[in-house]
Amino acid sequence: MVEVKFSGFGGQGIIRMGSITGKAASLHDGKQATLTQSFGPEARGGACSAQLVVSAERILYPYVTVPDILVAMSQEAYVKFEPELKDGGWLLIDEDLVQPHPPHGAVRQLAVPATRIAETMGNRMFANMVMLGFLAAVTGIVPLEALEKALPGSVPDRSIPKNIEAMRKGWGIGKQQSADGS
């Protein structure tokens, strides 16, 4: 079982990240998945998070207790949720939006310029998809192909090609960092 917390601020597509990963795991990778979400009263700009549990077995408790993986797409989310991360867990940050302190314990901290990459694609709204590709590459939680298959019905049809492009860019960076031992 793997517990993931996606975090950032409203408007970044944080809930969508959790939803797409859960859909990829359960519909296209033969796993079980549960998703819960929370967000502040400010829909855009307020803190939000999505908690995803993925397992090969039946999930008996659907909530994240101690995340194995924390995705932090904002400084506020990082400060709030980083202390909850499991010792030995994965901390994935958007390097342009999060200034981390030295990781506690044996945390594996990796950074990707998700927002910068999305901006080079013409729209920073693709940063979440860059991060999803990165997540899949470095953690192996779901295959890239499963994420791509989960896009229809999760994003507008006209944006599927750009979302796939963004995921693949994140995947490539994640694979490179994994190969480098970063």
Average pLDDT of 115-121?
97
What stretches of the chain show up as alpha helix (H) in DSSP?
14-28, 75-81, 114-120, 127-139, 144-149, 160-180
- CB half-sphere exposure, 9, CA atoms < 13 A: 11
Whole-number pLDDT of residue 119: 97
Compute the average pLDDT of residues 163-173.
98
**Residue 110 near residue 177 (C-beta atoms within 8 A):** yes
Q: For 73-90, how does the pLDDT look when each residue is reduced to its tens digit (9 = 90+)?
A: 999 999 999 999 999 999
Tens-digit pLDDT profile for residues 89-107: 999 999 999 999 987 778 9
> 37 and 17 in contact (C-beta within 8 Å)?
no
Q: What is the pLDDT of residue 167?
A: 98
Q: What is the mean pLDDT of the chain?
A: 93
Domains along the chain with CATH numbers: 2-180 (3.40.920.10)
Measured distance CA(141)–CA(123) in Å, rounded: 26
**Smallest Cα–Cα separation from 44: which of 8, 76, 94?**
8
Residue whose C-alpha is closest to residue 152's, from 143, 167, 164, 134: 164
Model confidence pLDDT, tens digit, residues 11-49: 899 999 999 999 999 999 999 999 998 766 555 567 789
- pLDDT of 10 reads 85
Q: Are 178 and 137 in contact (CB under 8 A)?
A: yes
pLDDT band at 70 (very low <50, low <70, confident <90, very high): very high
Q: Which helix (H) or strand (E) holds 72?
A: strand 69-72
